[in-house]
Amino acid sequence: MKRLFRDKKGVELTLNTVIIAILVVLVLVVLIGFLLGGTGKAKSQINELFDTSTSASTLSVAIEQCKIYCDQIEETGMDETEIAKNKANLPFCNKGFKIDVNGDGEILDDENSVKCSDAPLFVSCPAVTC
């Protein structure tokens, strides 16, 4: 019986294989922790980066987003009466931005977000009057 197992080659794991397996498990644990929200501040910063409809880090980002909203309205081909009926659903009129005007990290108006046609954005859209 002992001779049966003695003739087997490659049965044992090499030290490199064990180390690689441990590293793979550690990477998976970190990845799962990141995906489940264990990063706190990083998660909120990533959300702010991709959520440009409700927040903007600079004035220029907010202005560009407002121009995109206006272009989308114009591309739909709605006439003035349709636009007036759907004004409550138009992002150009309703989406607000929390503006950091001078880049110091402080938001201009923390309680009320700034709309596209309001100061300091002053973006006009010929197709819409909010």
pLDDT per residue as tens digits for the range 60-72:
888 898 999 888 8
Q: Does residue 91 sit within a domain?
A: yes
| Strands in the chain per DSSP E | none
Q: Does residue 121 sit within a domain?
A: yes
Average pLDDT, rounded, for the chain? 76
Query: Which has the minimum average pLDDT: 19-33, 50-64, 70-84?
Result: 50-64
Q: How many of the other CB atoms lie within 10 Å of CB of 115?
A: 17
pLDDT of 21: 92
CA atoms of 61 and 40, how far apart (whole Å): 25
Domain count, the chain: 1
Q: Does residue 65 sit within a domain?
A: yes
Q: Helix, strand, or coil here: 51?
A: coil
Residue whose entry in the numeric block shows the structure tokens 């019986």: 1
Cα dihedral 100/105/110/115 (nearest 10): 20
pLDDT of 45: 61
pLDDT of 12: 67
Q: What share of the chain is helix, strand, coil (3-state, %, to 5)?
A: 50, 0, 45
pLDDT of 101: 63
Tokens of 61: 């980002």
Structural domain boundaries, residue 126? 52-130
Query: Which has the minimum average pLDDT: 72-76, 94-98, 105-109, 122-126?
Result: 105-109
Tokens of 9: 């080659």
pLDDT of 56: 44
Q: Does residue 126 sit within a domain?
A: yes
pLDDT of 23: 95
